[in-house]
Chains A and B, each alone.
Chain A
Amino acid sequence: GAGVSQSPSNKVTEKGKDVELRCDPISGHTALYWYRQRLGQGLEFLIYFQGNSAPDKSGLPSDRFSAERTGESVSTLTIQRTQQEDSAVYLCASSHGTRQGTQYFGPGTRLTVL
């Protein structure tokens, strides 16, 4: 079946602009996660959704970052007033509600802030 998809695959933006990154989870997966991978660093957790609620937002680095999810489907990660340090690959993962330990990742969105 189809895996996790993300769009766009690449995004170049100017400092100060807002960006929206999209994630389509695997059909039937109720849990959705966002991670950030900066060059030379491990993946950093950003936020977790169960359905359309976000029980854990502890990884969002600042109030410029926000995310929402429509039901048990698409999620959007929004970064406002982008800064150069926001440049990274943003990865989305989803998991089945009854086996939340196994997270399956999408291909990521590479964000470059000039």
Chain B
Amino acid sequence: EDQVTQSPEALRLQEGESSSLNCSYTVSGLRGLFWYRQDPGKGPEFLFTLYSAGEEKEKERLKATLTKKESFLHITAPKPEDSATYLCAVQQGGSEKLVFGKGTKLTVNP
């Protein structure tokens, strides 16, 4: 059974304090790994898709990386507006559904 574990559950940072969020996964035949951002009361907002180990993608202060067992979301010099819950999901080859982790709640204090 596909599993996704995100750590830490919650993370508090000071503005400008860089850090990383972890997503460990077990899946038979990874089709894609997805990162989403979710603000309170809203639906998940798509950030990145990674397809193979070694792949990296960047968007503003965020950079996502992928290995065969885990993905990291690196946040460089975060700002308060980066505060949100970050969700990781995997998609198995031959399946259309996403399997999500429980998310990491990030709080960036000014």
Contact = CB atoms under 8 A, between A and B. Distances in A.
Interface string A76-114: 000000000000000101000000111111111000000
Interface in B73-110: 87, 89, 91, 95-103
B31 interface: yes
User: Which label, helix, strand, loop or mixed, suits the secondary structure of the B interface?
Assistant: strand
Interface stretch (B43-51, B54-62, B63-71): B43-51
Interface string B1-35: 00010000000000000000000000000011010
Contacts of A50: 96
Contacts, number: 60
A53 to B, nearest CB: 12
Contact of A59 (B46, B97, B103): B97
Contacts of A107: 41-43
What are the 5 A-B residue pairs with the smallest beta carbon separation, nearest first?
A105-B43, A45-B97, A42-B100, A43-B100, A42-B102
Interface of A: 4, 31, 33, 35, 40-45, 48, 50, 55-56, 58-59, 91, 93, 100-108
